[in-house]
Structure 1
Amino acid sequence: MSDERFCLLIIGGYGTFGGRLAQLLGEEPRLRLLVGGRSLEKADDFVADLRTPKDGAEGLGSNNLGALVQAVAFDRDGDLPEQLTRMRPHLVIDASGPFQSFGKDGYKVAEACIDLGIDYADIADSTGFVAGIGGLDAAAKAKGTFALSGLSSLPALSFAALEAMAPHFSRIDSVAAGIAPSAHVKIGLNVVRAIATYAGKKVPVLRNGQPAAGRGLIDAMRVTVAPPGVKPLRSRTFLLVDAPDLALLPARFADLKSSFTGVGTEPQPLQHLLSLASRLVHLRLLPSLLPFARVLQRASHAFAVGEHRGGMFVRVGGVDHAGERLSCGWHLIAEGDDGPFIPVIGVDALVRRLLTGVRPESGARPAAGELRLEDFEAAFRRFQITTGIRMENEAARQPLYRQILGSAWERLPPAISALHAGGARVASGRARIERGGGLLARIVAGVIGFPRAGEDVPVTVRFVPDGDREVWTRDFGGKVFCSWQVEGKGRDRHLLAEVFGPFRVLMALVPDGEKLRLVVRGWRFCGIPLPMFLAPGGDTYEEERDGRFHFHVEIGGRLTGLVVRYTGWLVAE
């Protein structure tokens, strides 16, 4: 094996997260990658699978290995100095866990690495473990090595997002963060065990600026994860989890009054049952949920229903530099199987920086603030991962569409952004109208007041602001019908709500090249939620064509068929 390569040992290298890290780094030709664990057989099988080409695969998982990959047996309870001396890694990544259960000898791997002058990092999510790594700081500095703990979603990525938002504030009062995994991701047993250790137990948080005892998997907050310009996740409840951020935030923000870290899983009814079980622990009717960890894992796998998308948020509240109240949120959505790579992307970024000669300062410390948001976003571009920041300042309310789109507003073509610039305005043009022929479609169209079918029909649209909503009055050749639009509240946050008579349709605003798509995400009748599979559908979008605003509105459903379709163009008067 060539000594010219940078040697990296991944402990737990064939596990849930270690395996994904091996996938990420396996294509890097400057690496010698040691995939380690107690079972050499499992490590061998994993490496063999990593090397096996997948038909039609591209990018990650294509198995175009550039790294020199080797399976090794590594026992964290064995003779650590002997194993590390024999393998001679430059960097050890501990991706095993659960770190909550390591006990008094929890740092023995980090200590052995420091003694031998080997750099160390882990993806620990245990508050005590991450916060306590500083006890090795003097020893690491004396050896000229670094030991970074918690190089994962919480706290490394969450703090990177925090640092990106902090310059907008003169004072930060509250911080909340949460992870929303896809229901279709197979959660590892160690992850479930880690969560079970504090279910129903006391979790240290801040309330009103004072240390307080939260209740693990019982205390909750509702959040809609919604990066600007993409379909948001469905609004969900996040349950309090014990994450390193809770211990690290007060030292970073001296004026902090409240803190929260949570997890929001799907399906939500299953999460509600988990919260009820946690209450039994809190009431001391059960000693712990840890004995039920395997049952909980199997249940999460058996009830994998819902969208195959995951997400994360970091929300900050405080005062801006003008003295006004400001809230700011960083949001992330990962499509499909890309979400489980997020916890190891920080390690991937660290390794690639090391390969270019950029090295962390010597010493042992939590990884919070070690990487910038830009480091993560560079890695996100290899995946279907979208992130963005939303800022909400009540004193400087934006026009409706700009408020909902956030930073994605800047991606709109000029003709679309001009039409939604806010204020009272009028636009006129021509339209083609089609109507559905079914009885139910005709009834719905009559109730709402949709125009009759016609070709080259003159159309005028008046936009009138009315508080936080916007009234649209459409005149198609003398046939007038109205609707009003507003940003959704509560569980409908970050969605555009359009009201036609008794119907309220909730839509995501999604820029797509020269188009702005309006994607239905829910609907109500007289305030009553209706089944999504019966929601009005159709291809609805606005676009700029030849410098002019064009619209394409299609409304229909499973029961009604096509109700109405109108297409055409508008020019502001």
Structure 2
Amino acid sequence: MKITVIGGYGVFGGRLVQLLRRDGHEVTVAGRDLARAQRFASAWGAQAMVLDRSADLSPLTGAEVVVDAAGPFHAYGDDPYRLARFCIDVGINYLDLSDNAAFCAGISVLDANARKAGVFALSGVSSVPALSAAAATALAQDMETIDTISSAILPGNRAPRGRSVVDSILSQTGLMFDQTTDSQTTPVRSWSAPRTFTLPSGELRKGWLIEVPDQSLFPAHFKARSVQFRAGLELPVMNYGLAVLSRLRERLRFGMPRWLVALVMFGACLLAPFGTDRGGMVVAVIGRKDGAWQRAVWRLGVDQGEGPFIPAVPARALLRNPAQIALGARPALGDVTLPDAEAAMADLCVTTTRDTTQITPLFPATLGAPFATLAPEIRATHDTPAPRIWQGRASVTRGAGVLPRLAAFLFRFPQARDDTRVQVTKTPVNGTEVWQRRFGTATFQSTLRATPQGIAERFGALTFLLDLHVAEGRLHYPIQKGWCLGIPIPRFALPKSAASERVENGRFHFDVRLSMPVTGQLIVHYQGWLQSAADFSGTPLAVETDRQPELI
């Protein structure tokens, strides 16, 4: 097959050229630098062509397929689909390796033209969304419903990285983008909320939220309640450097000048000797099967510096059997299967694994049989195999006096209000749950975990054992014991608490009252009602992503 790869001497395009030549295709390497194209093409038995994507495209005629592997796709200007449109108009099939969400989703505007011309035009034929979608499809095959899809790409530091990739990451670092959490569109900040992933070798790597096509395309395609994607670099100094840049850019709202991109590239080159050439990719799906929650995970590990081949694998898999590609223009969501992708990696230094585990959320696991006696509205608020958002209204009463006010300040409890909007986000974290409570603009957070004695709740340095029990149809969890930095707190020094959940008129209600030890002075009393954010008449409140936990 005659295939022209634009950017065919770049990091990813060059790997695609190598794979296509291994498969026996006639390949032309195209780019603005003819000398580089010729050098690379001669090394792999390909042809070379000089081509500026923004200029005359007529040299492309004669190709059966054109693959755009150049990028950065977010910088394609006012007519981003000029190349794709040209290919369709002259009857050439088109693929690109875009990981830009807007570019990938937007190619559907050319669908009618592509069908009429009898060609295919697919965007995102890369690690995302093509390969991540293939993995998610395979993992969810036997699930009755899909709750959450979480993915990550974690390259080794010694793997080559092109300027387009660096430009793509930096262009969005610190910017807000929309992410679907519990069927709600919530704004999150790019390169925030780190999470730890396990590669097939058992090595742990951190990934950070970043926008790719998955977040905008997967919720509708898979009918998933939550979709997340993260990327991470191997060296902590680079990850945390980007995290600092993300926070600064959010606060100061500056652009991304070319000199800063060049500076980051220079720094990356200085750090190139460190780390390894090992990287990987993880895709996890949480769903319901046979009435129970389960988590299925596909892991990919790549060695010997062959990570940059992975973005080229979906295109290789498709072009091995182009007659099976449906006509039309669309994001590449269902075009690549996981078996075909894994077959296209067979000659690479790649390891893949799959595993499935059952999930029992924290509260039903801890309470056991009594949990089933609670009202459905209460049980629903604790059925958290994945992030859940609850919204409603509440009143807050604060105590008077220096010590109660100091305690409320330290715990970040909200100010007194007769009526305020409240949002509670519950997120499972490796057997624990993180509860982020937001009353208006005030946010405080705690982590709950199971212990042999019951559920313990941690607020910073303080941990309290809760006497979780069911009585008269209500769920109660008063404080039973406490520790400060692991040191037991005497019973007389424990805050007095009365916390319960109940149902009134078919609606979930909560009532929490905390008072000072010894004196009994009120610290805070908040009470109100909650319902699923999907049923609440209002948009979700912003999530403090730096305070988000690592998600399972």
What is the TM-score when the length of structure 2 is the normalising length?
0.63
- Pair 1:370-2:328 in alignment: no
**Mapping for residues 42-441 of structure 1, pairs under 5 Å:** 42-50=36-44, 65=45, 69-80=46-57, 82-85=58-61, 88-226=62-200, 231-233=201-203, 235-254=204-223, 256-284=224-252, 286-288=254-256, 291-304=259-272, 305-320=274-289, 322-354=290-322, 358-394=323-359
Shift of 1:349: 1.2
Looking at structure 2, the residues matched to 37 and 308 of structure 1 have their Cα atoms a distance apart, in angstroms, of 27
Instruction: List structure 1 runs of 4+ shifted beyond 6 angstroms.
Output: none
Distance 1:291 1:213, change over 3 A: farther
CA distance in 2, matches of 1:105, 1:180: 32
Residue pair 1:236, 1:268 contacting (<8 A) in 2 also: no
Any idea what SS the aligned residue of 2:298 has? strand
User: How many Å separate the matches in 2 of 1:144 and 1:369?
Assistant: 19
Unaligned runs of 5+ in 1: 1-5, 51-64, 396-467, 469-489, 491-573
Q: Report the alpha carbon displacement of residue 291 of structure 1 after superposing the two structures with TM.
A: 4.2
Partner of 1:436: none
Q: Displacement of 1:120 after TM fit?
A: 0.3
Does structure 2 retain, via aligned residues, the 8 Å contact 1:187–1:300?
no
Mapped to 2, the partners of 1:363 and 1:44 lie a distance apart of 33
CA contact (8 A) 1:187 1:297 kept: no
Q: Distance in 2 between matches of 1:289 and 1:221?
A: 29
Q: 1:27 aligns with which of 18, 22, 31?
A: 22
CA 1:361/1:232 → structure 2, altered by over 3 Å: closer, same or farther? same
Shift in Å at residue 394 of structure 1? 4.2
Percent of residue pairs identical: 36
**How far is 1:115 from its partner?**
0.3
Question: Structure 2: which 5+ residue stretches go unaligned?
Answer: 361-430, 432-448, 450-552
Partners of 1:155 and 1:142 lie apart in 2 by: 25
Alignment match, 2:468: none
Q: After TM superposition, give the deviation of residue 181 of structure 1 in Å.
A: 0.2
* 1:538-553 matched pairs, under 5 angstroms: none
Q: Conserved in 2, the CA contact under 8 Å of 1:186 and 1:301?
A: no
Match of 1:14 in 2: 9
- Opposite residue 248 of structure 1, the aligned amino acid is L
1:338–1:383 Cα contact (<8 Å) kept: yes
- The 8 Å contact of residues 4 and 60 in structure 2, kept in 1 or not, is answered as no
Which whole-Å CA distance do the structure 1 matches of 2:257 and 2:132 have between them? 27
Secondary structure at the residue paired with 2:252? coil
Deviation digits for residues 310-343 of structure 1 (CA, Å, limit 9, x no counterpart): 00001111211x1111111110000112111000
Distance 2:265 2:20 in 1: 28
What TM-score, normalized by structure 1, do the two folds share?
Answer: 0.61
* Offset from partner CA, 1:72-107 (integer Å, 9 cap, x none): 111111122x2223xx10100000000011122110
* 1:503-523 Cα distance to aligned partner (Å, 9 max, x none): xxxxxxxxxxxxxxxxxxxxx
Give the alignment of 1:487-502 within 5 angstroms. Answer: none
| Contact persistence 1:162–1:314 (CA under 8 A) | yes
One-letter amino acid of the counterpart of residue 230, structure 2? G
- Looking at structure 2, the residues matched to 289 and 239 of structure 1 have their Cα atoms a distance apart, in angstroms, of 22
Q: How does 1:438-477 map to 2 (within 5 A)?
A: none
Contact 2:140 2:287 in 1 (8 A): no
Structure-1 residue corresponding to 2:35 = 41
- The offset of 1:28, in angstroms, is 3.6
Corresponding residue for residue 415 of structure 2: none
- Corresponding residue for 1:544? none
| One-letter amino acid of the structure 2 residue matched with residue 236 of structure 1 | R
Aligned residues: 363
Structure 1 residue 219: deviation in Å?
2.7
How far residue 124 of structure 1 moved from its aligned partner, in angstroms, is 0.4
Going from structure 1 to structure 2, the CA distance change for 1:43 and 1:317 (only over 3 Å counts) comes to: same
